[in-house]
Each structure stands twice: as structure tokens, then as C-alpha cells.
Structure 1
């Protein structure tokens, strides 16, 4: 691993290079892997993002803050940060994992970002780790999404109905198919007061319900 190049990408130079090595090491490469650092970094990341949102959005509700934080610390966002930093080329893996291309999986890159945050915290202090998070997240902490766009379909459907004094929707599992390890759910979302109903499919009951709620919203909007 070219440490000097990685230092430049991160905008931070480790005093203890062993922490950097551990943060970039997948469990397939041995016992000195990043998972404990990942645990620490995940906790700090949630705090730093929560504090930033609290300070920048004084009028936002708790629910809005929670949804925006979730969007900023989810795997998809972490993977994008990892891509911005070019971390895929520095992850240390065991032979089998390297051959399978694990190092390019978004989940692994997301874990690596969290581990790096934890490593910076231990190598320096909380203020330095916060500065790294704010620099790595960049515009994501400034150009924030509309909280309403982050609500899941079931929540949006319920609020749509409540705003029109209509009763809550009912969800019913119509079918469960496939083997136990790969089940598919078919769910019906029904509005009894208007005799409206749609169906949704998914790999879990929750996912199918969300898809059914999304379909119902599209029907109501139409």
C-alpha cells in the first residue's frame, strides 16, 4: 500500500501507521482487520452528522433530522465517499476475497470509511476526526435534501391519507413463494373507504408493503 498517496487522498497523515493499516484491512486478510475500528467510526460518524444537522437546521423537526442523518450515513453514501477518495485500490484482502472482487463491493468500502474515521479518532482526537468527516462528506453536508423526499412510501401514504381525513391503509400478505432462504412476498395495500387496492412484491414483507404503498401513492396521484 502506498501510504503517501493515501495520505494525500485522505488529507490526513497518520502518526501511527499501524492504525491506517488496520483500517484498510478486510477480515479475509487475517485477525488484524478493521471491524473494531468500524464500530468506533460508525458511532462517531452518526454523532458528527447529527451535530452538523442540528446546528445548520434550527427549524428542522426531530423526524426530519433523523431522516437526513440516515441518508448521510447509509451504505450508499459511504460507498460514494469511498469512491471519491479512491479507497478501492488500497483495501487489503485475503487471496480468495481478492479474486472474488470483494474490495469493490459497496458494503466493504462503506465499512472501510467508518474504520478510517475510527482510526483518525484514535490517532488524533475527536476534532480532527470531525474535520475529516466534514471534508470527506463535503457538499453532502451543505446541499441537504428535502426531508419529505426521504420519507418511506408507507409514511408518505399515511400522511397523504391523514391530510384528507381518510383511514389508514390495510396491508395483507397474499402470497409467499420461493425457498426459505430466497422468499418472495406479494402484498395487497387496500383503502376500504374508496375500495382501492394495489399490489406490491418484494424479498421481505416490509419491502413488499413499501412497494405496494408506492404503487398506491402513484395511483392516488394519478
Structure 2
């Protein structure tokens, strides 16, 4: 299967299937690009190939052609020409097609190289992102381990405080009982003295 021809305007590159404009410098353009780029006509009378800047001074240097000619056209186009001219036309036609295929291969090679460069760049960026992420994860792990150690230390201190508080509470309860006992003893002593004073007062009366 023949490789499809494409418009040689890099901003277009649409696949050519019907009519096109070919140049003697082996380039081909779609009809809209040919009209827009001045191949059909030029204000100063000098046409220039948009692909290679070659001057197209002669009328036949850029002509419209039918890419899918009819069978009648195929039969009549070379009829009457000598075999030498026919072979020369075929040779030039094959050279034109070979040049177009070579240019297409070069275009895809450049595209593949650009894609490879972009992939390498993205891969490098991804490696840096992964490296930074791993570094951040490592830092978070270290921080988490320190937090676990601090947690254990705080839990130990909390247990020590609970134990100390329990001991102080027990001591406070003992002191409270002693205080209540001492206070009760003091009240009883005061009541005894008061009762004795009352007895003395009654006797004297």
C-alpha cells in the first residue's frame, strides 16, 4: 500500500486525497494552502516555494494535479510520447514520491526524537518528584518515631504522676483522719473542763 501524501505546509499537513499543487522542487500542497501561500498567483509575478524558498519563475514550476485521475486520463496522458520521455517522466515522478516519503520519514524521526526528549524530561521530573516524596516520607517516619518515643515518655510520666497523686491522696486522707481525731479529743477535753466549771459553780451557789 502506497504511503499517503501530505501537504508540505507544516501548519497544515493534511492528508491529500484529491487535487493538489505540485512544484518542480518536489513539494506538494493542498489547494487552500497553495492559494493562501501565493502559489496560484503572486502580486509581483514571482512565486516562491513555501517549503524551500525556491523561486518558481516558469508557469509549469507549480501546477495543479489530480491525485486520483480517471482511467481515461491514465490512458491518454502519456500517449504519443516516446519511450524515453515516458521513462523520464516516470523517473521524475518516482523521485518526487521518494523525496516525499523521505521527508515524511524525517518528520516522524524528528517527532519521535522530540517525544523521546519530552519523555526523558518527564521521566527526570518524575524521578525528582519520587525522590522528594521519598525524602518527605522518610522525614515523616522519623518524626512519627520521635512522636512515639515522646508518647511513651509522657505516658510514663503520667503514670508516675498518677502514682504520686495516689500516694499524696492516701497521705492526705491519713492526715485528715488524724486531724479529725485530734479535733474530737480537743473538743472532749474542752467539754470536760466546762462541765467541771459548772459543777464548781453549782456547789458554790
Per the TM superposition, whether the score is higher than 0.5 is no
TM-score normalised according to structure 1 size = 0.24
Higher relative contact order (CA 8 A, sep 6+): 1
Asked which structure has the greater CA Rg, the reply is 2
TM-score normalised according to structure 2 size = 0.25
